[in-house]
Chains A and B, each alone.
Chain A
Amino acid sequence: MPAAELRQLQRRIRSVQSTRKITRAMEMIATSRIVKAQQRVVAARTYTEEITRIIANLTASAEAGDHPLLRPRDEIRRVGVVVLAADRGLAGAYNANVVRRAEADIRSTDRPARLFLVGRKAESHFRHRGYEIHRAYGGMSDSPGPDDAHRLAADVIAAYEQGAVDAVDLVATQFLSLGTQRAAVRRLLPVERFGPQPGCAGGYELEPGEPMAILDRLLPRYVEARLFAALLDASASEYAARQRAMKAATDNADDLVTSLRRSANRVRQAEITTEIMEIVGGAEALRPSDADESEERPWR
């Protein structure tokens, strides 16, 4: 019976150790990818900054506020919500946080929502709860490219222009630091007006001369750039969350192995002690009495 218990403990130790190998590998993969993802966030920032500045200058100078993508609608019947989550789990509370934030946002607007879901985890969550899903995208969140942002932006803008939605929110995780990521809601459409920026607020010479024609091209690119930045931020956050979750799992596996080893050692010790007791007891029973022994000795 104790021998069987020992074997079972040893089997558990082996299984925890092999799980630990997996979580450790995933932790290291995530760690190496955070750096790359962060570099992409930084590299893409210039484009967003420049296009924001240009739009601010253009809308400050011209009477361009009437562009359909800039003007808030009087009546908001439906709200579009873009949710950026991950394709895979094992990233701690990453997906749960984004999804919870999105649900809170949908409840607070008090209007029917149409969802644009990036990440299969978001899709499977909302699919089962009867939300209206406008479109779901898989395979986009891992390593998002400009083409992914383009596709997403085109769908969102089309839905907005056709009147399927009257405003669009973006729910995504912001990478604040390696230790802190926060799921946040931001308005995507209509595009919010920016305050005047230093520089050429005096007005541009335009080619083509019609500011509307330029905004027609600039604003979709701006939405795209914002979505791209958000996608990159979310993917860096996903890796950070996964790295933390996998580190916690690895540490936990270490603790588990230690305590399992202790129990195994205790069982083994107990087994040895029992054996010794049995042997000593048996020898004691077979041993002749002291008196017999002293009489026998001279004959040897």
Chain B
Amino acid sequence: MEVKLVGPERIIYAGDASMVLARTLDGEIGILPGHAPLLGVLVPGQLRIVKPDGSEHRATVRSGFVEVCDNRVVVLADPAPEETAPEEKAEEEKGPTS
């Protein structure tokens, strides 16, 4: 199944997965291919995307939503502060002197 992890500023991860593990308000859920349509509210915790080759993509999530629809998982997430695009902060140049 297809998984897309989307932050407010960019797509953080997109690809195939054999399982997604997330923490919602009602508890830990595991999403396998063919899951029924679902919409859940995420609570702070780890999001684990298990890829078909068995490796994992992990992300720390502050809050967000997980949606399953047509064998496609969309996670809208506010990433934990340390994961917010460090490269963008670095190349912040100085403004013109006007």
Contact = CB atoms under 8 A, between A and B. Distances in A.
18 contacts: A26-B98, A46-B4, A47-B7, A47-B8, A50-B6, A50-B74, A50-B76, A54-B65, A54-B67, A54-B76, A90-B98, A142-B95, A146-B8, A206-B39, A208-B25, A208-B41, A214-B41, A224-B8
Interface in B8-45: 8-11, 24-26, 29, 36-41
Given A200-B69, A218-B65, A207 B9 contact: no
Contacts of A46: 4, 6, 10-11
B86 interface: no
A170 B9 CA distance: 21
Contacts of B38: 204-207
A43 B88 CA distance: 13
Pick the 7 closest A-B CB pairs, nearest first. A207-B40, A200-B69, A204-B39, A43-B10, A200-B37, A146-B8, A207-B26
A90 B51 CA distance: 51
Interface residues of A, number: 38
A202 interface: yes
Contacts of A199: 69-70
Contacts of B92: 143
Contacts of B67: 50, 54, 204
Interface string B40-72: 110000000000000000000001010101100
Nearest to A229: B8
A207 B39 CA distance: 6
A200 B70 contact: yes
Contacts of A208: 25-26, 41
Main SS of chain A's interface residues? helix
A208 to B, nearest CB: 5
A108 to B, nearest CB: 32
A224 B38 CA distance: 23
A118 interface: no
A217 interface: yes
A46 to B, nearest CB: 5
A157 B3 CA distance: 31
A129 to B, nearest CB: 25
Contacts of B4: 46, 50
B91 to A, nearest CB: 9
Interface in A152-176: none
Task: From B8, B11, B29, B40, name the one whose CB has the most chain A CB atoms within 10 angstroms.
Answer: B8
Interface string A196-220: 0001101111111000011001100
